[in-house]
Amino acid sequence: MSRATSRASFFTAMSPTSRNSLETQGSSNGAKPHHPLHRRPSPYDLTHPYLKSHPNLELHPEFAVDGDVIILCREDENVVGFRVRSSVLRASSGVFVQELNSARFADTRTIVSRDAVTDMHAVLRFLHLGSSDHAGPTISPTLRDYTAILAFVSLYDAPPALRSLLRWHVEGCAAELVAEVGAEPNDKEVIAIVRLAHRLRAEALWKEILDKSAENMSAGWRVLHDPWTLEEDDIEHLEFRLWSLLILLSRVKGTVGTTLDQLTLHYPNAKQVNVVGKNGQKLDIVHTLV
């Protein structure tokens, strides 16, 4: 889910067939013809005209049975649908609430997403896992999954509880996420996991990142040892405040004569992060984030 995607355009309810055009198609005696759109479609009815008109539509196997809303994503020439409960969507995003309350949605019972099927799948698995309304399948702890979920909770008016829940999940599988990146990642993989740790204020993930980078001076892990080597595009993607934090870590490491695994990060509040030494080192450097 790209940060460049506006909140308003992330989820767009499918425009319904014009009621005016339907009402003018009367019979010879002037009676208004019956049309499925003149009644509210059953939440569990897949015979809706829009759905029937898409022969390439396929419901995702994990989201094919239970729900009164279908979210549609395009994958090449096919359309993948996710059947979900509106109660889960309303509880998870103000953007969803706006779309579910729209007149357009009332006619189509569908919401169209411009995002990748894999990203939408990750988000919906997370939302169902975090909802008492539907247990759902267990989310898989992959870096791409969590990056997509973070984009959702950051950009689409999600309640603070969802961000806290996401942080809890990421902290719980921090070692697995770093192991997924591996010993010889590329720069973009390291940037992705560093951004995830920083945006969530995930101190346990930072610990795993710093420990791993201390063991690896090659490949993408060199970003933490020498952030000056990053290209301009990578710095922009990393964001300047986070890049400046990596520079601070590198300078502290060089000045104190320690390794990155002897440092840790602590977020006392939303406006600052402290670089703290381990093993009794007298080190507490405050880095402002605003």
SS3 for the chain is: CCCCCCHHHHEEECCCCCHHHHHCCCCCCCCCCCCHHHCCCCCCCCCCHHHHCCCCEEECHHHCCCCCEEEEEEECCEEEEEEECHHHHHHHCHHHHHHHCCHHHHHHCEEEECCCHHHHHHHHHHHHHCCCCCCCCCCCCCHHHHHHHHHHHHHCCCCHHHHHHHHHHHHHCHHHHHHHHCCCCCHHHHHHHHHHHHHCCCHHHHHHHHHHHHHCCCHHHHHHHCHHHCCHHHHHHHCHHHHHHHHHHHHHHHHHCCCHHHEEEEEEECCEEEEEECCCCCCEEEEECC
Would 238 be classed as within a structural domain?
yes
Instruction: State how far the alpha carbon of 13 is from the alpha carbons of 102, 106, 153, 249, 267, in Å.
Output: 8, 9, 20, 46, 39
Residues 6+ apart with CB under 8 A from 246: 194, 223, 224, 227, 238
Would 28 be classed as within a structural domain?
no
Would 100 be classed as within a structural domain?
yes
Q: Answer yes or no: do 92 and 179 share one domain.
A: no
Which of 77, 107, 136 is a domain's end point? Answer: 136
**What pLDDT is recorded for position 283?**
67
Q: Answer yes or no: do 123 and 215 share one domain.
A: no
Q: Answer yes or no: do 103 and 181 share one domain.
A: no
Q: Answer yes or no: do 191 and 70 share one domain.
A: no
Would 147 be classed as within a structural domain?
no
Q: Answer yes or no: do 7 and 120 share one domain.
A: yes
Calpha distance 45→43 (Å, rounded): 6
Full domain range(s) for residue 112: 1-23+34-136
Predicted structure pTM score: 0.76
**What pLDDT is recorded for position 215?**
82
Would 267 be classed as within a structural domain?
yes
Q: Answer yes or no: do 282 and 211 share one domain.
A: yes
**What pLDDT is recorded for position 282?**
57
Which of 109, 136, 163 is a domain's end point? Answer: 136
Return averaged pLDDT per consecutive 10 residues of the chain, 290 residues in all: 41 35 34 33 48 72 86 86 91 91 82 88 82 53 91 91 93 94 89 94 94 82 86 83 88 80 86 79 68
Q: Answer yes or no: do 78 and 177 share one domain.
A: no
Q: Answer yes or no: do 3 and 94 share one domain.
A: yes
Looking at the structure of the chain, the number of domains it has is 2
Q: Answer yes or no: do 254 and 186 share one domain.
A: yes
